[in-house]
Amino acid sequence: MRNLTQNIVITKTIETRFKINFTRIKVVKNIDYLKLTAMKKNLLLLAMPLAYCFTGLTQLPSQTRTATYLNNLNQFREVFGDQNYPRATAPEVAVDDNIYASSSRLVAIRDSASGFRSRSVASLALQGFGFTIPVDAAIENIEVRLRRFKTGRAPVGDYVLSLIQRYQQTETQPSLYGKMWTYLDTYDGKIYPDIETQYIFSQTGGGTDGGFNHDQAYQWTPAMVNAVTFGVRIDNYPAVGKGSVVIHYDLVEVTVQYSILTASTSHLENTTQTNILKAPVVYPNPFTTKTKIQFTAAENGNAAVELYTILGVKIRTLFSANVVQGQVYTVDASDGQLAKGVYVYRIMNGKQKFSGKIYKIQ
């Protein structure tokens, strides 16, 4: 009986200690939960102002378009003849539907040393893409996606594939422009396949690897891309061998990616919104002899536009005057004494500053 009583006492003692320890565990867990909840609230409070601060991050929208003109802008066929793609129309390259824009039958030449023959080459000019890039945007990337193939035994490929400002160059505006893919280069799709295949040709919005020999500066602008004359030009190298070939294109589309710096808006107390000096419009850029810089004043007061070499050496002040907020000012940046190369312009308007590059190509 005594042993039984002792066992009952021990058992109750153990139960009591267990309850006490279990209660302590629950208390500790509750304390940890409260600490975690408080930490989450603090992190949320910290993240909210940070989110407001980053509302001015650069957006990267894009537009994708197909051509509305195929070798028929500005009386193309009357000027250059219709031997290139005589029955082809723009809708045939607007959709991947196995309906093709086809060249005339091109006669192969005996070897690569033989001279070009008019019946051996064709030129495809796609224009009128209808882009509507905002004028204050910066062009980040331009991508050409196309599907093509050839029929006939002789191999045939690109002589040049390039974006264009217009089909024919003028005294102040080149035709082929930007990065080019030529018969001197090595790239996927240079020689046309026997079955329909997709290829992508991409270039940045500006650089120094433009031109036929990849040694020219270029800079695409919204005005250039939005122009009806903007487009894609593809000239073939003559087929080499015997017989003849026909070149076929299915879908050809261009995607332009651009950036717009949006003004940040702070929701923090005691913070006032300020106007941002927007990216100016510079056209033409690159230029040969004349170019203009157009900017909108962000605040009243003095504004200055200065020109520097790429190494930071000041060349001269292009503009210095009192300006009115919201007014547009056009600055002549022409200088016949400038050598071919890259230059930096700086706009200063009160506390606002903006820097950009201009490219002289001749």
pLDDT band at 180 (very low <50, low <70, confident <90, very high): very high
Residue 195 identity (one-letter amino acid): I
- Burial class, 28, CB count within 10 angstroms (exposed 0-12 / middle 13-18 / buried 19+): exposed
Asked if pLDDT for residue 71 goes beyond 70, the answer is yes
Bond preceding residue 238 cis, omega within 30 of 0: no
pLDDT band at 214 (very low <50, low <70, confident <90, very high): very high
Final residue of a domain: which of 259, 290, 305?
Answer: 259
| 275 inside domain | no
Asked if pLDDT for residue 282 goes beyond 70, the answer is yes
pTM (predicted TM-score): 0.60
Q: In percent, how much of the chain has pLDDT > 70?
A: 72
Tell whether 136 and 233 lie within a shared domain. yes
Q: What are the pLDDT digits (tens) for 81-97?
A: 666 898 999 999 999 99
Tokens 């008019």 — which residue? 118
Asked if pLDDT for residue 310 goes beyond 90, the answer is no
Tell whether 234 and 147 lie within a shared domain. yes
Domain span at residue 312 reads 281-360
Residue 210 bridge partners (DSSP): 216
Count the domains in the chain.
Answer: 3
Tell whether 76 and 32 lie within a shared domain. no
Tell whether 25 and 158 lie within a shared domain. no
E-assigned strands of the chain?
A: 62-66, 69-70, 101-102, 106-107, 123-127, 138-151, 157-164, 176-182, 197-204, 206-210, 216-219, 231-237, 244-259, 281-283, 292-296, 301-309, 314-323, 328-332, 341-349, 352-360
| 271 inside domain | no
Ranking 100-109, 113-122, 241-250, 283-292 by mean pLDDT, the lowest is: 113-122
Q: Angle at Cα 48 formed by Cα 299 and Cα 45, nearest 5°?
A: 135
pLDDT band at 170 (very low <50, low <70, confident <90, very high): low
Tell whether 144 and 242 lie within a shared domain. yes
